[in-house]
Structure 1
Amino acid sequence: MTTTAWADRIATATPPDRERVIDGLRVIAMLGVVAGHWLVTGLTTGTGGELHQASPLTAIPGLTPLTWVLQTLGLFFFVAGNTAARGLDRAGRRGGSTRSWLAGRARRLLPPIVVFLGVWLLILAALRHTAIGPWTLHTAGTIAFSPLWFVLVLVLLLPLTPPVLGAVDRFGAAAALLPLGALIAMDALRYWLWPGMPGWPAYLNCVTAWLVPYTLGAAASRGRLAGERCGRGLLLAGLTSGALLIAAGYPASLVGVPGDGRSNLNPPSLLTAALSAVQIGLALLLWARLERRLHRPGWWAVVGGLNLTAMTIFLWHQSALFGVAGLGHVLGSDPVGLIGSPDSAGWIGHRLLWLPVVAVALIVLCLLFRRAESFGAGDGSRSLAHR
């Protein structure tokens, strides 16, 4: 199939009312997460040559600003909220129930996840009968399964879509203030009012922190959050609150750093909501430009094609990284930039050189497992039309 024919096929499969900017934002968010993971996931060898996870942020704090750019999960949940709201509205217009809509969402989400889990459980079971040590297996599982937490949070948020839309219809984008207030209360409790509190209650932030951009996405789907004025307001609020939080003692990194006593991501903190506001504000400011760009056939073909395999890319990108590094390790040559202490500019340079190889490995994995993603929605064309 020629490039032009492929672009024409994507264009034909695109409904006229498709919100192309949302698809574009999904791709931006996905690429940010993938690039971020590939840059900060380091591997070192310990006793007996076993592989351990490490992070360049521990030894090179100057990389911290990269986490402000590449930690794009707030944008992911904004897109998820927008897509869920549109899907539920569309189901309602067709006479469907919330239960049937949720079942449809499950049918689209579960096949690629089941395939991913099945393949990795078989791999780990097989590797247990080899000379590979238990800690290396633990590291492989930790890295490979790390994307699944996002799916778990999404599954928790989807049933909240009807009350979220009800709140948006009544209060507009201000409906996001409710989960934001719960997030503020939990952070105040664990950091200042009760420093010795058990850690587990703070994991409620996994819902409230991401419910903030999710609600804003739902508001955007109803036209209650749009335009440059809203964009400037969110951008200013996010930048100001983020700077104040860092000055007040929040870690500057937007991802976890081994050895730090606090993390902004595990569980999420108020600083993650500030970053979400910045990212969504920028999206609103650039919305019209993105809309014009994505009506060009070439640009839309790329974005549409990546959306068809978005879940596959998200699930398997860490597997591609570990697979390339692990293969080198098994062959007896620990590749510099993939395995070794991530504590120098040289390591960063070598890691950048390895990224095209890891990208090729990910493409191979996508070719192997992409059909699982369209299984719940039919063929690729229907998948694009109904996402």
Structure 2
Amino acid sequence: MPLAADLRSLVTAVESRTPAHRDRAVDGLRALALLSVPAGHWLVGGFTLDDAGALHNASPLAALGALAPASWVFQLLGIFFLVGGYSAALSLRRATERGTAARTWLRGRLVRLGRPVLGVTAGWAALLPLLSVAGVPAATLRTASVLVVQPLWFVGVYAVITALTPHALRAAERAGLWSALPLLLSVAVVDALRYGPYADAMPSWLPLLNLLPGWLFGYQLGLVWGVGRLGRRAAAWLLLGGGLALFVTLLTVFGYPASMVGVPGEARTNSHPPSLLVLALAAAQSGVAVLARERLAALLARPALWAPVVVINLSAMTILCWHQSAMLAAAIPAAALHGDAAVAGLTADPTSFGWVAARLAWLPLFAVLLIGIGALTRRFEQPWTGASTGGRILAGALAGAFSLYAFAVV
């Protein structure tokens, strides 16, 4: 069959072009963390329909609290930051050995992060007026904008953390695993203030102090791993055991919410900004990742398993930026075609386990739509060498317009 032959050819080509020194385990961990983002958002990203047939965001976690432990599996941002820090440590060291300034290395990294964000925001700025003319309700467009910008906060935080890499790397080289401890303690102090007996007297902006140290924690562990200070199994077991112990204590003794993502109607959240529970989970996940590294590398030595990992890694930012658009590409037409008649698992209220079963059936379609969208938009991950000055200015203007609109509705 032609398709099978093409796939075999792709697998062979990827294997032949993979350098012998490539760390397949780290790439595999990154691919796993990347796929958890769309999978998690697609499973908790429900909709409701109003009388006008407009879509509004809803979450099954609001009605189905028993699903909260599933978020422990899909919340793999700790792994993502871990491998990000690990890769950054190696990349910056190689750049320094070549004589490349840290400022130049950093500029290249930030440009690679920024191009896909510019692409998705400019794309939606052009799409929104077309959808409006086509009769899509304004409320649906607002809902779509919220979903599109939802993953982009992650890119912004990651960019700030990337900018801190030279300083954080020096700390990792000097103090090893201890360099992550101040970040953990900082989040613990803020949590004690915002959830303690004097919480009512605390300023509303206090939780924002957790934003940087909360997400930098996993990245710092990755830097420590990258400089060779986290390779011993004892250190990995310490992270796994300590993280699990802290996780269980926070849940059972201190009453932290079980869900790792925000739940509509709940006063407390673990993710926006991150609470100490997020760091505990990240520590445990990092311990597992280090312990599983050799077995994962052996597994990915098989070309048929390695090729998908390479494809996913090459499309990392496309997946992050466009996966919500794939879900909307199914939900918006469904709402338009069926009016106020809800479609199970897609536009129906996410209030039952039947909805969960129906949503699982929709996931393959979302994946196919994301692949199709990615085929058109992955060019934003590549250098814009052929783009004219006018084209770049237009893209920037469209992205700015969408940003203003999204800021107003979010």
Q: Does TM-score exceed 0.5, indicating one fold?
A: yes
User: Contact between 2:48 and 2:55, CA under 8 Å: does it hold in 1?
Assistant: yes
Tell me, which stretches of 5 or more residues in structure 1 are unaligned?
A: 379-387
Letter of the 2:344 partner, please give it. Answer: V
Superposition TM-score, scaled by structure 2 size? 0.88
* SS at 1:4 equivalent: helix
Distance 1:204 1:8 in 2: 48
Distance 1:9 1:104 in 2: 27
Structure 1 residue 220 and structure 2 residue 225: aligned?
A: yes
Equivalent residue for 1:349, pick from 350, 357, 362: 357
After superposition, residues 2-81 of structure 1 pair within 5 angstroms as 2-81=6-85
Structure 1 residue 210 and structure 2 residue 215: aligned?
A: yes
What is residue 253 of structure 1 aligned with on the other side? 259
* SS at 1:53 equivalent: strand
What is residue 328 of structure 1 aligned with on the other side? 334
Q: 1:352 to 1:377 in 2, by over 3 A?
A: farther
The alpha carbon displacement at 1:130 in A equals: 4.7
Percent identical across equivalent pairs? Answer: 43
Which segment drifts farther, 58-67 or 44-53? 44-53
Distance 1:34 1:130 in 2: 27
Superposition TM-score, scaled by structure 1 size? 0.94
The alpha carbon displacement at 1:11 in A equals: 2.5
Distance 2:357 2:25 in 1: 33
Which segment drifts farther, 1-10 or 168-177? 1-10
Which segment drifts farther, 95-104 or 110-119? 110-119
Distance 1:377 1:273 in 2: 40
1:333-361 per-position Cα deviation (integer Å, ceiling 9, x unaligned): 53210111111111111111111111111
The alpha carbon displacement at 1:17 in A equals: 2.2
Equivalent residue for 1:285, pick from 291, 308, 324: 291
What is residue 361 of structure 1 aligned with on the other side? 369
Which segment drifts farther, 77-86 or 263-272? 77-86
What is residue 108 of structure 2 aligned with on the other side? 104
What is residue 381 of structure 1 aligned with on the other side? none
1:122-173 per-position Cα deviation (integer Å, ceiling 9, x unaligned): 1123334453333221111011221101100011101111111111111111
Letter of the 2:373 partner, please give it. Answer: L
The alpha carbon displacement at 1:221 in A equals: 0.7
Distance 2:286 2:316 in 1: 20
Distance 2:248 2:6 in 1: 49
Aligned residues: 378
The alpha carbon displacement at 1:182 in A equals: 1.2
Distance 2:106 2:70 in 1: 36
1:165-197 per-position Cα deviation (integer Å, ceiling 9, x unaligned): 111111111100121121111111111154122
Tell me, which stretches of 5 or more residues in structure 2 are unaligned?
A: 387-410
What is residue 96 of structure 2 aligned with on the other side? 92
Distance 2:22 2:301 in 1: 11
What is residue 200 of structure 1 aligned with on the other side? 205
Distance 1:338 1:30 in 2: 23
User: Contact between 1:182 and 1:208, CA under 8 Å: does it hold in 2?
Assistant: yes
Letter of the 2:225 partner, please give it. Answer: A
* SS at 2:356 equivalent: helix
The alpha carbon displacement at 1:12 in A equals: 3.4
Q: 1:183 to 1:297 in 2, by over 3 A?
A: same
1:85-121 per-position Cα deviation (integer Å, ceiling 9, x unaligned): 1111111011001110011112322222211111011
Which segment drifts farther, 157-166 or 193-202? 193-202
